[in-house]
Amino acid sequence: MLSRAILSKIHHHLLTNDYIRHQHITEGDKHDVYVYLGKGPGDLTARHRHSNILRLSSAVEILHGQQYNRTPAHRLDAYVYQALNVATSAFDGADGSDIEDFRSLLMLESSINNTFCYCEQCPVGTTVLNHIHERAGELPRQLQGRVAQVGLGQEAKIFSLEQIWLDIPKVHIPDEDQPWDRWEELEHGQYRERCSSDCSNLDCSLHEDLQPWYHPLGNPDTTNWPYDVPDEYDYDSDGTDPDAENHYGLY
């Protein structure tokens, strides 16, 4: 249920707000809209058909409602792990490479501007912030952002939150089932309960023991039905009540 709520909130925000700041813009399109740390993999267009592509930092901002550098540490960690839980994949905006095992990400207490990088390419004393600049030629906007580490128990990789892009599925989050959504109309004004509001399979195993019933008015009512239909009602073979006008004064 929590994952569905997160997906719904992110999807709703991207549909109703300025999407430009979340979208990935390829390197050749930067003359139109500049997106920092925004290089993507070669199949990004195909991914975008089924996913919302946004930064991990943007996902945190959507969930919290403020810039992620203003998010308390304990909430930031929770939002990061929730966003990673609903994502299907992730890539590094510095070079467009996929981030394998992205759900192993850990949030470190230090910031990117005072944490040393120990990769083979950087000289001793290089900070993670300088490492990002050397690799991508760009800097994140939050120079004191938290450090994210991927690769627990193996070769570790260090990122800033703004550098990580997530694929968040574009899915329809249905509203909570209403009582009238759980009943399907059959012929002659009959209604039968179904296992869910989107089930249309009459051979569904959950339908086998459910007997059709006739609604007194021939239409779903949201009040005390079908459980409180009076027993004394008699129905014709076509499912109509010959005495309906006496009971309801509607015919």
At residue 164, the pLDDT reads: 93
User: How far apart (Å, rounded) are the C-alpha atoms in residues 182 and 195?
Assistant: 7
Task: Answer yes or no: do 110 and 145 share one domain.
Answer: yes
Query: What amino acid occupies position 44?
Result: L
| pLDDT tens for each residue of 29-44 | 443 344 688 888 888 8
**pLDDT bracket for residue 183 (50, 70, 90):** low
Question: Average pLDDT in the 47-76 region?
Answer: 86
H-state helical runs in the chain: 2-16, 44-48, 56-64, 73-86, 128-136, 244-248
Please tell me the pTM assigned to this model.
0.61
Task: Answer yes or no: do 72 and 159 share one domain.
Answer: yes
Task: Answer yes or no: do 137 and 214 share one domain.
Answer: no
Task: Answer yes or no: do 127 and 42 share one domain.
Answer: yes
Residues spanned by the domain of 239: 174-251
Question: Average pLDDT in the 73-99 region?
Answer: 91
Task: Answer yes or no: do 210 and 134 share one domain.
Answer: no
In this structure, how many other beta carbons lie within 10 angstroms of the beta carbon of residue 23? Answer: 16
Say whether pLDDT at 191 is over 60: no
Give the total number of structural domains in the chain: 2
Task: Answer yes or no: do 161 and 207 share one domain.
Answer: no
Question: Average pLDDT in the 72-93 region?
Answer: 91
Task: Answer yes or no: do 132 and 75 share one domain.
Answer: yes
Q: Which of 169, 202, 235 is the last residue of a domain?
A: 169
Task: Answer yes or no: do 201 and 134 share one domain.
Answer: no
| pLDDT tens for each residue of 212-245 | 444 444 444 444 444 444 444 444 545 444 444 4
Task: Answer yes or no: do 114 and 194 share one domain.
Answer: no
Q: Which of 147, 169, 191 is the last residue of a domain?
A: 169
| pLDDT tens for each residue of 110-155 | 999 999 988 888 888 899 999 999 888 888 888 888 999 998 777 7
Task: Answer yes or no: do 180 and 158 share one domain.
Answer: no
Cα 214 from chain centroid (whole Å) = 39
Q: Which of 169, 190, 215 is the last residue of a domain?
A: 169
At residue 99, the pLDDT reads: 93
More confident residue, 90 or 4: 90
User: Tokens 């939002």 belong to which residue?
Assistant: 79
